Chain A
């Protein structure tokens, strides 16, 4: 293969936008939890558990886990793209990052739905 410097992958906008939208979602979630904590949602285990097990919180926590994973994917991939030059190594790191994130999402959802 000829070694040429190629650019023009025609993507990037969705990731850039997603990074911002997921950041807002996570900030909103953090505020909801902070308010709940101030109102004593974590007074004891049973209260905390019932708070997190409510339908609304399950919904938001599910969205949070997905947003966190997407956000982390864009951010970590940016680090690989900035600093790792060999394409093969970059691809390997991308795949590993994806595996780690998908696994973590599954794990987090397992915990949430066990509540």
Chain B
């Protein structure tokens, strides 16, 4: 791929300077070494250093460069530049539903509050063994598709239920993590976890819209995890 010019429309807002947010038109030259959207963003930042965005590992592990790309949440570092159609500007906005700190940076406090509320750690009251708590390979398999979550918030901020009730609904990321510990055979707090989630807001705001599944950059399925939590609740109630 020879060098080409990419056109962007980027959401800009600096609360210290701007009265309200606006969309900035800006273009940048990219060459064959620039493969991902993050590469273009880094070049944009070199061109206009007032542009603010989060980034860290640049390989889809840290989850810090989640933004809204052409209307769909995703990680800038995993989005191929070749996936954008020629000639059309690439529209970048901050993740929807969270307060904007500046430009593409959002305040994730509410998101992490919900994550913490599900107690994202193993609860086991047995004295710890000398080396580690063991699991059979089959029990361990149950955690596949759950532990890979990088907490980028792509899913929760694309979920209408989370937009309307971010203070009460745990959201897909939090519920996926909740099931990760419910499914863990080493965890002893399954009942308490189910008690905590049995709530019209915390769990049952999920209306199976499945935006979470659509956007997850790691290909995870929070809707399936939520379904399994509900199935366990039915199993213990019926």
- Please list the residues of chain A having a beta carbon within 8 angstroms of any beta carbon in chain B: 5, 7-17, 78, 81-83
Task: Let me know if B234 and A81 touch, CB within 8 A.
Answer: no
In the complex, chain B residues 189-222 whose Cβ is within 8 Å of any chain A Cβ: 195-196, 198-205, 207
Q: Mark B116-138, 1 if CB is under 8 A from A, else 0.
A: 00000000000000000000000
Chain A residues with CB under 8 A of B196: 8
Q: Which of B161, B168, B198 contacts A13 (CB 8 A)?
A: B198
**Contact count band on B:** 20 to 34
Tell whether A11 pairs with B198 under 8 Å between CB atoms, given A16-B204, A82-B161: yes
25 contacts between A and B (CB under 8 A): A5-B167, A5-B168, A7-B199, A7-B201, A7-B202, A9-B199, A9-B200, A10-B198, A11-B199, A12-B198, A12-B199, A12-B200, A12-B204, A13-B198, A13-B204, A13-B234, A16-B230, A17-B234, A81-B200, A81-B201, A81-B205, A82-B160, A82-B161, A82-B164, A82-B165
Chain A residues with CB under 8 A of B202: 7-8
Complex CA gap A5/B204 in Å reads 17
* Chain B residues touching A, majority SS: loop
Chain A residues with CB under 8 A of B237: 13-14
Chain A residues with CB under 8 A of B161: 82
Q: What is the chain A residue whose CB lies nearest that of B238?
A: A17
Cβ-based interface call for B78 (8 A): no
Q: Mark B143-182, 1 if CB is under 8 A from A, else 0.
A: 0000000000000000011001101100000000000000
Task: Let me know if B234 and A8 touch, CB within 8 A.
Answer: no
* Closest 7 pairs (CB-CB, A-B): A12-B204, A12-B200, A82-B164, A13-B233, A7-B201, A7-B168, A5-B167
Q: Which of B165, B195, B200, B234 contacts A15 (CB 8 A)?
A: B200
Chain B residues with CB under 8 A of A78: 207
Task: Let me know if A8 and B230 touch, CB within 8 A.
Answer: no
Chain B residues with CB under 8 A of A13: 198, 204, 230, 233-234, 237
- Least CB distance from B156 to A in Å reads 16
